[in-house]
Structure 1
């Protein structure tokens, strides 16, 4: 039955039907050891007199791609660039009697929600649109949003109930390289662009699709250390499963499978970082006593354990 209300003379009249299609993004970040945060927009007083936060996003213009609409709206509301995933979830909300723009209407809202992510070096949120529906934007503790401590719109609750980090599996090859003169180990430090920033790890990295792992290792050692290595035997296969923010800024559940090879470099070789703006910002020979003073990734511990196991077996 059509929604009606009373007009002049007591006659019922139909409420105007208003349909709105909007696009939004769930944007979560979480560094190593840091509590996850979500980027939300606070609705202005022209929308609601109460404090209420919602997902960044808004109405799709006629002929506009929904993903483009998210990019535009997030910049208007938060002043940050955003990448948007391909898949989306759709929510439909019908309110037969809703108050919109100073009048009572029969409202139907269709909301398309994507996963989004912003770069590590993105500026702090700042609302660019003046006198709009957003009063401010901010990174807020995800736990406080989920618990209800921070008041949000139902869209936030609905989206977070089904949200899962993007799944990423990565095959990588690493080199365990020692220097005969002092038994030092060649290690690299992870830059602010990588997960576990500031930690030390073995030189190496991801194997490209179709690439032979040993070839990948030679390439990575050149990029990270400026050295050409000779790859030897596989000494261990190590894996790690972590959830956090990827170098791209995307919230991910990451499964890394690490092939650890013994390798050698020419005598007297001095390493230097070749690749600029990557996930490695330092490389050096580290003596055994120094290992205890540095934050090491598990892959280094795995290589040391494999070395000890091989030594004990001899």
Structure 2
């Protein structure tokens, strides 16, 4: 279960015809006053990140937006020890009137040319979008954000605990178009299903690094990330926690496309007792007959003719 040291957030990117980007400036009531950031904020429990960025964008700028695509997924550990898993979306403005967040943490919401804020403090996600370095780079300003409330350690009577997790997975192919899959071990949710290689993003880890690591552990392959395909969200209100207690579970998955240039026979190399029982390469026309996990079905639907 993801703790208060982890936070899932969604941010929106939009440019105007003059080459200006819409940014918000943190007010004195924010943890990082005077800093520029992308409009957006925390994903609530059970909320789809797409809905979160539309809601937060409206609250902070007064504008209505539609999500066009998932641009990327980045992580950042703040000076206060909060690991932010952030989904960055390209959005389109559909209405509203630009204004700062009334009584909130935004003192300005304005269109700016990147060169105008070059010497100002910015979050790593702003710097990443502007091409000033990747999140986690030492050249970036550090972001400080309010920690997500800590889930209760003990559930109240008649009330389930809640868990939230951000994971990174990949639809992985080789030069011949084969698809690399891992099978979920029995005893785990989805046991017996064929699944995308991937898993949870560790503290301080970038999503792209996490999925490369997981591919190696679950299949023994060295993969390169090609692009972020999409981000999906699911909620299981009647999940069972690791110690057998009822759990209201919310998962957010970043689904990447990956490629293996020098494939070998797939094999599980992670430590004994892991959630992967076997892995192998499949021809695309064989995959439809497999017992698929929801993540694999989503990835195949998103990919369309990429894997056919």
TM-score (norm 2): 0.46
TM-score (norm 1): 0.45
Bigger proportion of residues as strand: 1
